[in-house]
């Protein structure tokens, strides 16, 4: 579709925590071969209109931003209360 795609992620390899280092490397290489630009070991520090500022200092122009944000449940209170 001739659109520029950038992926910003705090990990050293994309999806490594879920898929392991070998699959993460495969995913990165496959996407880079198709023009995707990775900004790994970095995070978005702010989104302002049509640009994303990264914590490393780079600024990315953007017409569309998709944020995939995972969650980790905080189970300490439930565990302390004896809930499973």
CB under 8 Å to 67, separation ≥6 — which residues? 44
Q: Which two tokens stand for residue 19?
A: 């898929």
Tell me if the domain spanning 6-80 has CATH number 3.50.50.60: yes
**Tens digits of residue pLDDT in 49-84:** 899 999 999 999 999 999 888 777 888 888 899 987
Domain parsing of the chain, residue ranges: 6-80
Q: What is the mean pLDDT of residues 11-29?
A: 93
- 70/55 Cα distance (integer angstroms): 19
- DSSP conformational letter for 78: H
Instruction: State the pTM of this model.
Output: 0.76
């Amino acid at each position: 579709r001739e659109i520029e795609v950038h992926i910003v992620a705090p990990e050293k390899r994309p999806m490594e925590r879920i898929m392991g280092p070998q699959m993460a490397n495969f995913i990165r290489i496959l996407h880079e071969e198709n023009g995707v630009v990775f900004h790994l070991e970095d995070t978005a520090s702010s989104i302002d209109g049509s640009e994303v500022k990264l914590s490393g200092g780079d600024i990315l122009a953007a017409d569309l931003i998709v944020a995939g944000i995972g969650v980790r449940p905080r189970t300490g209170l439930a565990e302390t209360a004896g809930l499973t």
